[in-house]
Amino acid sequence: MTDEVQPYRVDPISEPEAATEIKALLAACDLSYEATVEVFVVLRRGRRTIACAGLDKNIVKCAAISPELQGESLSLLLMTEIAHLAHERGHTHLFLYTKPDNVDRFRACGFYKVVEVPGVVAFMENTPIGVRGYCASLKTLRQPGAVIGAIVMNANPFTYGHRHLVEYAVANCDHLHLFVVAEDTSFFSYRDRYAMVKAGISDLPRLTLHPGSEYMVSRATFSSYFFKEKNAAADSFTAIDLLVFRNFIAPALGITRRFVGTEPFCKTTNKYNRDMMHWLRRPDSPFPPIEVVEIPRIANGEVPISASEVRSLLAAERFAEIGRLVPPFTLAVLRDKHRPGRTASQIPDPPTWVENALSKKGQDSYEDS
């Protein structure tokens, strides 16, 4: 009887016994515990935990109901409580990961399937117009051409390696769409990274620079990129991210080719490149295949240029060496925001120095969406 069920909120850090009960319930439902979950809603009947759902910012994870109780319509109560919790924390647009068998159950709770990794996981959101509305806005930026390219980059920070990839892509397609990852979990803020990319490619033709979105390489679609998760669910994040790209973003812009650089340092990104070859080209999809072009990184001497190397040099304040790896504007950002002896309170607010710097550069040779 559902009238005996009581909802509770659980902080998994400060309530280890409750967290242990949640882990046991998830294991009984053949689900993995996600360490990035900040708070759980649990349903208890008496002293027994019979259902749970976790919130990681605006992402619902670890949603489970005891197998023998899954016909008691507990899902609606669980999702109502998690929605209230999310709203209190300022989140109204929610994403949800669940098993494909549970899609109908969560659809009845107001969630809509975006994509599914067959037999493994479904990715849903609590609005019917979320990804479709985003793609409708992208369609207004379509460009003519038989070969339309795309790059998605984090640029943490923007280097000559990133510039080389963009130059190659522009030369090998009729128009290039460049997306900057919007997630603010990197060493450099999104505002800084976007400004560095914008300055670094300002002279290139046939290029549209896009802000990032929650629908590509974000903590919603690809959280293992940011948190290096090691559970079974992490293996599905690349697939989710790439299916959203193939099924929605690429058709909206007419993208036929995606460009990436080789990744000799980061295992997660290297796996993403390998998975890209599979999910963007697999023939059993109703959506057109996307050619994946992987080019070798350019090197500084014998070592491939990498953003991680720049960050290491920055920690050692070796700006002369950094100057051989990054364009002038990137170097100016690093010098201005990370001058030796500066404290965080002394770092200038980005709008002033970024916008002033960009206003001095000609931006007429490309479109900036």
Give the integer Cα–Cα distance in Å for 192 and 334: 10
Tell me: pLDDT of 315 over 50: yes
Q: What CATH superfamily classification does 139-368 receive? A: HUPs (3.40.50.620)
Tell me: pLDDT of 69 over 80: yes
- What does pLDDT average to over the chain? 86
Topology of the domain comprising 2-128: Aminopeptidase (3.40.630)
| Cβ count within 10 A of residue 154 | 24
pLDDT score for 50 = 95
Two tokens at 74? 């507990």
Burial of 39 from C-beta contacts in 10 A (0-12 / 13-18 / 19+): middle
Domain ranges of the chain: 2-128, 139-368
pLDDT score for 186 = 73
Tell me: pLDDT of 134 over 50: yes
Split at pLDDT 50, 70, 90, the class of 278 is very high
Closest CA to 291 of 333, 319, 259: 259
Residue 342 vs residues 156, 318, 333: alpha-carbon distances, Å:
20, 15, 14
Q: What is the mean pLDDT of residues 257-271?
A: 83
Two tokens at 359? 């206003």
Count how many Cα atoms sit within 13 Å of the Cα of residue 158 in the half-sphere of its side chain: 31
Two tokens at 260? 């990436």
Q: What is the mean pLDDT of residues 330-346?
A: 68
Least confident of 94-98, 112-116, 164-168, 214-218: 214-218
Tell me: pLDDT of 169 over 70: yes
Contact 185, 177 (CB under 8 A): no
Split at pLDDT 50, 70, 90, the class of 359 is very low
pLDDT score for 354 = 41
81-127, pLDDT tens digit by residue? 999 999 999 999 999 988 898 899 999 999 999 999 988 889 999 99
Give the integer Cα–Cα distance in Å for 317 and 322: 9
pLDDT score for 221 = 67
Q: What are φ and ψ of residue 319, in 5° steps?
A: -70, -30
Closest CA to 297 of 330, 256, 261: 261
Split at pLDDT 50, 70, 90, the class of 358 is very low
State yes or no: cis peptide before 340, omega within 30 of 0.
no
Give the integer Cα–Cα distance in Å for 334 and 328: 10
Split at pLDDT 50, 70, 90, the class of 72 is low
